[in-house]
Structure 1
Amino acid sequence: MKPKETLSEFYALHGQEHAKAGQFNVYRREDFTCSRQLNPVYRRDFYKISLIAEGTGVIHYADQSVKVEQPALTFMNPLIPYSWEPGSERQTGYFCIFTDDFVNGSLKNESLSQSALFKAGGNHVFFPDETSLKLVQATFEHMMHEVESGYSHKYELVRNYVQIIMHEAIKMQPSDREYPHANASERISSLFLELLDRQFSIDAPHQTIALKNANEFAAQLNIHTNHLNRALKETTGKTTTRLISERLVREAKSLLQFSHWNVSEIAYCLGFDYSSNFIVFFKRQTGESPNQFRSKIVSIS
């Protein structure tokens, strides 16, 4: 398995071998050659925000698929394995792609850091109303103009436009999905969830996660395990162990669908000493064995 799709490979796949280099670029979707189906790739090494103005299709993740039959705004980051299956020939809109060099502190402030752009879990597809759609379309046009300009601070301005799009997406999601840090428990929970997500940038079967249980996470955050459990229970309604298990299952499903690694290799990189322990864990969480899940995914596709 090729672990990551690079930016240059993405350009080549879409007939853009000589696309502009740089930390940020923005395009119209109709100007790119679109394959009938983007092959599943476990991860990419860049961020992507897309506005699907016209066109239908299905976005596939490891454990879910989202049907797009109306204008949609999508956020993808290097943590998210996904594929796009177009349902119509006509595909219009915009997308921007950027690297970690573009992502600075202003894009990771406390409010925006909770958005889908910087998370592996949560919502990644949003459906704007007519007013939001017009605003986002205009914002993409502004970004296209600035990228082509000779303005020396254009990337700072473009970051502001990206923030406008991110805020529009935050407004589209239910209010209970927003997490302002009003107290210490919410701050601890945010740090834990960020640390949990960072665990799963696994690109090769010889890699393994460093933190495997509540005690290890608490030590990393320099707090007592009981303190961490109380904070998470207060803010999420779930225990530390439960949150770790859910994230492990999501990653396991991604690896089973998007990689060709065998079950033993997946078990190792997810921190299980024995593949049998992983099989028991996965079946307890999902009701089926890893091989049953993989066979089902293959038969569906």
Structure 2
Amino acid sequence: MPHTETIEELYKARKAWLPSNLRHELGHFNVFRLDDVGKGAKPSPYRKRDWYNITLVHGPGKYLYADKKIDVRKHALVFDNPQVPFGWEQRDRITGGFFCVFSPDFFHSLANPTQYSIFQPGGHALFELTAEEASQANLLFERMFSELRSDYLHKYDLLRALLLEVMHLAMKMAPNENLRTQVLTASQRITVSFLERLEQQFPIDSTEQAVSLRSAIDFAPRLNVHVNHLNRVVKETTGKTTTQIIAERILQEAKILLRNTPWSISEISYALGFGQPAHFNNFFRKHTESSPLTYRHV
């Protein structure tokens, strides 16, 4: 897997002042203007970062996230998390914007970023904005930029509130995807626990790792429910079967590993829990109509 960029490296690359409390137990937050975009701007490397990132862009560009390439047309809010690689392939037509970085403990007990779908590997990470929505988001980022540089005693409390407002601005555009922002039913709680258990197996950072939970039968005992009940509530809550959801997540990780590691097909297949490389090949062909090797070189 390519090198995971640290937040210290971000500061050094921007030639910015390196805060002494960067890894402080109270959490870290900062906000920057997008001042390295426009004509002649270089792509932003596709890799994992060890911080949470929210970007507001104005102008067209091409965003890379997990195994996807997404064209931004005019304005967008983008949410990145430490588990998924991301980057920008085209930045020369972006005219401006902001991005903020923060550590998971910045919110303390106020919120947990992982509870929101925008910061989950399978969640909705990019939101196209209307001109009105972009203006609203821009005002929030301008306020964060201004407040961070103020002498106000409680500015970090205010910054947390502004950051949450940016997050909710996006999540309100996709209310059906955000089960965890509502009061959950028993079925939804089981589904959320299932999704969390599934996600805990990723990302795969070493060939020494191996996915061990690969079916509803594997998950049910760990969630203290009968497998039939698990299958039923997941289907009711998400519209998908447990088999579909597990396969989609394994396929997503397979694409990331094929594109971003030098590992052999055999190493990837074993890391993803396939007993034989042939089983992985059959799985990949079934879901993509392509072999893993062909996908790697496209």
Specify the TM-score bucket, using the shorter chain as the normaliser: 0.7 to 0.9
Aligned ranges 1:100-115 → 2 under 5 Å = 100-108=104-112, 113-115=115-117
- Report the AA paired with residue 133 of structure 2: S
- Residue identity over aligned pairs, in percent, reads 39
1:245: which partner in 2? 247
Partner secondary structure for residue 294 of structure 2: helix
> Which of 32, 43, 46 is the equivalent residue of 1:27?
32
Aligned ranges 1:71-90 → 2 under 5 Å = 71-88=75-92
Shift of 1:262: 1.7
- Report the AA paired with residue 149 of structure 1: S
The Cα RMSD (Å) is 2.4
Shift of 1:292: 1.0
Partner deviation per Cα, 1:205-226 (whole Å, 9 max, x = no partner) = 2222342321222222222211
Segments of 5+ residues of structure 2 without an aligned counterpart are 23-27
1:186: which partner in 2? 188
1:133: which partner in 2? 134
Distance 1:226 1:152 in 2: 54
Aligned ranges 1:40-51 → 2 under 5 Å = 40-41=46-47, 43-51=48-56
Q: Is structure 2 residue 4 aligned with structure 1 residue 8?
A: no
Shift of 1:18: 4.1
How many residue pairs match? The answer is 289
Q: 1:260 to 1:178 in 2, by over 3 A?
A: same
Partner secondary structure for residue 198 of structure 2: helix
Partner deviation per Cα, 1:227-282 (whole Å, 9 max, x = no partner) = 11110111122221221111100111111112222212212221223222212221
Distance 2:151 2:272 in 1: 47
Q: Is structure 2 residue 36 aligned with structure 1 residue 36?
A: no
> Which of 85, 88, 98 is the equivalent residue of 2:102?
98
Shift of 1:152: 4.3
Partner deviation per Cα, 1:137-157 (whole Å, 9 max, x = no partner) = 111122122222344443222
- Report the AA paired with residue 142 of structure 2: E
Distance 1:58 1:286 in 2: 23
Segments of 5+ residues of structure 1 without an aligned counterpart are 297-301
Partner secondary structure for residue 71 of structure 2: strand
Aligned ranges 1:279-298 → 2 under 5 Å = 279-296=281-298
1:264: which partner in 2? 266
Q: 1:74 to 1:233 in 2, by over 3 A?
A: same
Check conservation: 1:27, 1:96, Cα contact below 8 A: yes
Q: 1:35 to 1:216 in 2, by over 3 A?
A: farther
Distance 2:296 2:156 in 1: 43
- Report the AA paired with residue 284 of structure 1: K
Distance 2:152 2:268 in 1: 48
Q: Normalising to structure 2: TM-score of the pair?
A: 0.87
Q: 1:87 to 1:94 in 2, by over 3 A?
A: closer
